[in-house]
């Protein structure tokens, strides 16, 4: 068991994931051979989608895809975002209002993993199914399903790319690096960090990689609210405190927004560009990768994540059990949550054209 911000989550290997994929619980739900009527709900029911603040492009995309996808599937979708400053209270109120309006399923991209148990319990008590989207909701037995990209794998891919990128640029270490992690209220932040450290820690222990500031604990590296200005300010401080006459070889950045802020800081200080990781395949970061600035990102195609979530909603509507492919990894502190995980893909300049070939928005940027 790995502990992430008070939540224990077991990470599974890619091999185990492949073995699990496709042999999940299947669509073997309530409408089985007993002849009982399915316990679904009317096809035009209200489906609530409560998303966090628009801290990265993926959330903006998700909102549009949910609005269109739910409509296409015949549901009445209600997509809400939390505001930038009162995120938790906004989201709590939005979920409560979706329950009152009679939503049959509520999909939640949590603003704060640990602050939704009251609302999720109320939803459950009203017979509403709750799906955690992208981010796990912790400390509640009332969460029904989780759908996400394999977050631990995302971190491992970032760690591997950081090592490979530094080695390609400078064959011999030791390499000086700095570590950044996401917002502590997002369960994913700790999972990404632990995935990356799974790869980096052995190299740090051997002395091949040095966190020159000494700031190796997740708490020291966290950027509240995933805010670009927070990452830029921390990088500014690190450059002043630690890199007066030391070379910075690499930075573990958990996502693209923070990666670009880190690069802005390094540029502003007139330092050479280090190897910087990212995640989300944001337009500006893909451009930066093609230009040779940001080193890598992760492709987590939001279209697929939303599609799988809507598939879950459709199964529930039909009275079936949604398909899951992981029933062991995500213990939210109260229960192990039935999960559908999708595989993330690491993208550097070398494979960008191939990775985004089917993405009409990103493919032209790689030509």
- When asked if residue 329 is in the footprint of ligand BGC (CB under 6 A), the reply is no
Token reading at 46? 């209200």
- Point out which span in 53-61, 94-102, 125-133, 213-221 binds ligand BGC (CB under 6 A): 53-61
CA–CA distance, 253 with 278 (Å, rounded to integer) = 5
Q: How far is the CB of 149 from ligand BGC (least distance, A)?
A: 7
- Point out which span in 61-69, 89-97, 181-189, 343-351 binds ligand BGC (CB under 6 A): 181-189
Q: How far is the CB of 185 from ligand BGC (least distance, A)?
A: 10
Are β-strands 296-299 and 345-348 bridged in parallel, bridged antiparallel, or unpaired?
antiparallel
For ligand BGC, the closer of residues 129 and 300 by Cβ is: 300
**Dihedrals φ, ψ of 236, to 5°?**
-55, -45
Q: How far is the CB of 53 from ligand BGC (least distance, A)?
A: 8
Q: How far is the CB of 187 from ligand BGC (least distance, A)?
A: 8
For ligand BGC, the closer of residues 56 and 78 by Cβ is: 56
- Name which of residues 23 to 52 contact ligand BGC (CB under 6 A): none
Which residues lie closer than 8 Å to 206 by C-beta, 6 or more apart?
A: none
Whole-number Cα distances in Å, 229 to 68, 88, 242, 260: 32, 20, 20, 10
Backbone region of residue 134 per phi and psi (left: phi > 0; alpha: psi in -120 to 50; beta: other values): left
Q: How far is the CB of 104 from ligand BGC (least distance, A)?
A: 25
Stated as kind and residue range, the H or E segment containing 167 is: helix 151-169
**Dihedrals φ, ψ of 326, to 5°?**
-150, 115
Q: How far is the CB of 349 from ligand BGC (least distance, A)?
A: 21
Among 138, 181, 279, 294, binds ligand BGC (CB under 6 A): 279
- When asked if residue 294 is in the footprint of ligand BGC (CB under 6 A), the reply is no
Torsion of CA 149, 150, 152, 157, to 10 degrees: -80
Q: How far is the CB of 56 from ligand BGC (least distance, A)?
A: 4
- Name which of residues 243 to 262 contact ligand BGC (CB under 6 A): 255
For ligand BGC, the closer of residues 40 and 278 by Cβ is: 278
Torsion of CA 186, 287, 83, 155, to 10 degrees: 0
232 neighbors 262 (Cβ within 8 angstroms): yes
CA–CA distance, 109 with 64 (Å, rounded to integer) = 14
Among 7, 24, 47, 55, binds ligand BGC (CB under 6 A): 55
Size of the site for ligand BGC (CB under 6 A): 12
- When asked if residue 226 is in the footprint of ligand BGC (CB under 6 A), the reply is yes
DSSP assigned state of 20:
H
Among 7, 58, 181, 323, binds ligand BGC (CB under 6 A): 58
Question: Among residues 282, 23, 296, 26, which one has the least CA distance to residue 169?
Answer: 296
218 neighbors 207 (Cβ within 8 angstroms): no
- Name which of residues 122 to 161 contact ligand BGC (CB under 6 A): 134-135
Q: How far is the CB of 183 from ligand BGC (least distance, A)?
A: 7
- When asked if residue 188 is in the footprint of ligand BGC (CB under 6 A), the reply is yes
Q: How far is the CB of 258 from ligand BGC (least distance, A)?
A: 8
For ligand BGC, the closer of residues 78 and 299 by Cβ is: 299
CA–CA distance, 206 with 210 (Å, rounded to integer) = 9
For ligand BGC, the closer of residues 235 and 305 by Cβ is: 305
Q: How far is the CB of 31 from ligand BGC (least distance, A)?
A: 34
- When asked if residue 186 is in the footprint of ligand BGC (CB under 6 A), the reply is yes
**What stretches of 87-127 show up as alpha helix (H) in DSSP?**
87-100, 117-125
Question: Which positions touch ligand BGC (CB under 6 A)?
Answer: 55-56, 58, 134-135, 182, 186, 188, 226, 255, 279-280
């Amino acid at each position: 068991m790995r502990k992430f911000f008070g939540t224990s989550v077991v990470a599974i290997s890619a091999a185990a994931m492949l073995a699990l994929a496709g042999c999940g619980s299947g669509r073997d739900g309530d409408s089985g051979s007993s002849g009982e009527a399915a316990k679904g709900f009317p096809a035009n029911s209200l489906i609530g989608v409560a998303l966090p603040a628009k801290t990265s492009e993926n959330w903006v995309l998700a909102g549009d895809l949910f609005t269109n996808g739910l409509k296409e599937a015949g549901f009445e979708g209600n997509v809400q975002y939390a505001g930038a400053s009162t995120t938790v209270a906004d989201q709590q109120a939005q979920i409560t209002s979706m329950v009152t309006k009679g939503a049959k399923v509520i999909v939640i991209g949590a603003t704060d993993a640990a602050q939704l148990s009251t609302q999720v319990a109320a939803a459950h008590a009203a017979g509403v199914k709750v799906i955690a989207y992208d981010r796990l909701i912790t400390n509640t037995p009332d969460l029904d399903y989780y759908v996400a990209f394999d977050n631990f794998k995302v971190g491992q891919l970032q760690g591997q790319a950081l090592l490979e990128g530094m080695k390609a640029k400078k064959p011999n270490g030791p390499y000086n690096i700095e570590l950044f992690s996401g917002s502590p209220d997002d369960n994913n932040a700790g999972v990404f960090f632990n995935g990356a450290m799974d790869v980096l820690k052995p190299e740090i222990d051997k002395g091949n990689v040095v966190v020159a500031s000494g700031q190796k604990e997740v708490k020291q590296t966290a950027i509240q609210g995933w805010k670009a200005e927070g990452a830029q300010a921390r990088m500014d401080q690190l450059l002043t405190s630690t890199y007066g006459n030391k070379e910075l070889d690499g930075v573990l950045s958990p996502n693209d927004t923070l990666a670009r802020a880190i690069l802005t800081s390094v540029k502003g200080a007139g330092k050479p560009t280090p190897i910087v990781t990212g995640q989300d395949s944001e337009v500006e970061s893909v451009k930066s990768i093609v230009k040779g600035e940001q080193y890598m990102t992760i492709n987590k195609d939001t279209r697929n994540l939303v599609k799988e979530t809507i598939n879950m909603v459709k199964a529930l509507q039909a009275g079936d059990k949604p398909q899951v492919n992981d029933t062991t990894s995500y213990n939210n502190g109260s229960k192990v949550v039935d999960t559908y995980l999708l595989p993330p893909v690491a993208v550097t300049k070398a494979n960008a054209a191939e990775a985004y070939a089917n993405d009409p928005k990103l493919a032209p940027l790689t030509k």
